[in-house]
Amino acid sequence: MFPLTLKSEIIPVNIENFELSNYVWNNLLKFLNNASLTIPATPVIVYQTNNLEEFYQLTNKPYHVGGVYKDFIIILQPINILKKKGVYDRVLLHELLHWILYGLNEKYQEGLIYWWMGEYDKKEVDYFLSDFNGDLPSFILNHWH
């Protein structure tokens, strides 16, 4: 586990002893390298809700959605619930990838992230792949705004 430092661009709120697992950290670095991107200049705030009702009130998303990214803020279900479901690292990585891809046309973000994470059965992946030219850095550059 990598504890966050003062120079971190990820700012946890309402989370004690927030850490990025090796899985999340290594996959973020791998994605940045493969996509020829850097950490965004704008930090991201990661907020853990206190309970599922608060998550729904803040996001208006059903409970099978573990996290939401919008405008440099990630809202997560309570981490203990995500960990009990065995999805915490994948949800956190997924939402951090939205932060990394903040300037990519939104219609491609979900599909690209699912594709990169190996979740090929999602319909968003088909949409992304229909325009993907096989070169991740150039695809991102061509669809960045």
pLDDT tens for 75-128 read: 999 999 999 999 999 999 999 999 999 999 999 999 999 999 999 999 999 999
Tell me, what's the pLDDT at 70? 95
Span 2-35, pLDDT tens digits: 344 433 578 887 676 677 899 999 999 999 999 9
| C-beta of residue 114 within 8 angstroms of C-beta of residue 120 | yes
pTM of the model: 0.91
Domain map of the chain by residue range?
2-103, 106-138
Burial 65-87 (b: 16+ CB within 10 A, else e): ebbbbeeebbbbbbbebbeeeeb
- Enumerate the β-bridge partners of residue 12: 46
Tell me, what's the pLDDT at 8? 53
* Strands (E) located in the chain: 2-3, 10-13, 19-20, 44-48, 67-70, 73-76
